[in-house]
Amino acid sequence: MLEKDGIEIVSALAERKFAGGLILITGGDGQFLKIARTIAIKSGLDVLGPLIKPFNEDALAHYLKMFEK
């Protein structure tokens, strides 16, 4: 399996014109989330929100409900 970082995945999704909602998740630095979010938005992706691990299921459910609308 190829290993990719979040920025590479965001770029690949943008290249493929991904039309779904994107939830950015990290177990590390919140600064990385800000960078990934900026790149995703500038690439035309629909960013629902960020989550920092560990997160609870209510936080995830919140973003999933946003996508349902």
Q: How far is CA 69 from the centre of its chain?
A: 18
**Tally of domains in the chain:** 1
> Does the residue 3 lie in any domain?
no
> Does the residue 40 lie in any domain?
yes
> Does the residue 1 lie in any domain?
no
* Model pTM score: 0.80
> Does the residue 10 lie in any domain?
no
- The per-residue pLDDT for 69 is 60
> Does the residue 62 lie in any domain?
yes
- The per-residue pLDDT for 1 is 47
Average pLDDT, integer, range 37-52: 94
> Does the residue 64 lie in any domain?
yes
Note if the bond before 50 is cis, omega within 30 degrees: no
Structural domain harbouring 55: 18-68
> Does the residue 7 lie in any domain?
no
